Amino acid sequence: MAEKQHYWLMKSEPNAFSIDDLARSPKQTTSWDGVRNYQARNFMRAMKAGEQVLFYHSNAQPPCLVGIAEVVKTAYPDATQFDPQDVHYDPGSLPDQPRWDVVDIRFVRKFAAPLSLNLLKEQSSLQGMELLRKGSRLSVQPVSAAEWKEILQLARRHKG
DNA sequence: GCCAACGTTGGC
DNA sequence: GCCAACGTTGGC
């Protein structure tokens, strides 16, 4: 029997790293470093190669879903946790027991037009989405198959 | 800039 | 184990 397919959503502040930055990266691939939340880390550890990721721009005007990436390498230790010069340095993380992981993701495509947070909120079928939950701050989160389908349909219809 | 909603830390 | 203080996220 086939493994269950999972879908994901990852947030990034476009000022720091946008989907265009991803598209311009070598091999259109980057390691998703700097995650310092256990729940988000655990979701990254559950990611499998080939799984699809919605790319979300947080702290943007407006905040929006901008496209799709895919997992190309499963979780491995985040090098920035051991680098005292790095803002994400974690002095409590031991080299033989790393706390924090990254995954590698690759650019797939941008949507024809961004799907704003407000537009997503208007969709009755997305009311249960983690992204839309009041107070939700999770930077890596699962997306249900139904939500994924709905968002892709929305992206197809929405040209800005 | 404001502030609600978190998650983490550390004293007790 | 409780919880106040603190730092961060992220929409507005």
User: pLDDT-derived band of residue A118, with 50, 70 and 90 as boundaries?
Assistant: very high
Give the distance, in angstroms, between residue A10 CA and nucleotide C12 C1'.
21
Instruction: Tell which wins on pLDDT, A48 or A4.
Output: A48
The answer to whether A38 CB sits below 7 Å from nucleic acid chain B is: yes
Tokens read off for A117 = 């947070």
Report phi then psi at A33, rounded to 5.
-95, 170
Q: Which of residues 55-84 of A touch strand B (CB under 7 A)?
A: none
Q: Which CATH number characterizes residue A91's domain?
A: 3.10.590.10
Domain that holds residue A52: 7-157
Which of the 8 DSSP states describes residue A154? H
Is the CB of residue A55 less than 8 Å from the CB of residue A65? yes
| Any domain includes A1 | no
Is position A12 within any domain?
yes
Cα distance between the two ends of chain A: 40
How far is residue A129's CA from residue A117's CA, in Å, rounded to a whole number?
11
pLDDT tens profile A65-74: 999 999 999 9
Total tally of structural domains belonging to chain A: 1
**Of A66, A44, A63, A47, nearest to A55 (Cα)?**
A66
Distance A59 CA to C9 C1' (A): 9
Average pLDDT (A5-15) is: 95
**Environment class of A28 (CB within 10 Å of its CB; exposed 0-12, middle 13-18, buried 19+):** middle
Query: What predicted TM-score, i.e. pTM, was given to this entire model?
Result: 0.94
Spanning CA of A87 to C1' of B9, the rounded length in angstroms is 19
Give the nucleotide with minimal C1' distance to the Cα of A41.
Answer: B7
pLDDT band at A96 (very low <50, low <70, confident <90, very high): confident
Output the pLDDT for position A2.
56
pLDDT interval class at A1 (50, 70, 90): low
Q: Is A119 strand, coil or helix?
A: helix
**A48 pLDDT exceeds 80?**
yes
Question: In percent, how much of chain A has pLDDT > 90?
Answer: 84
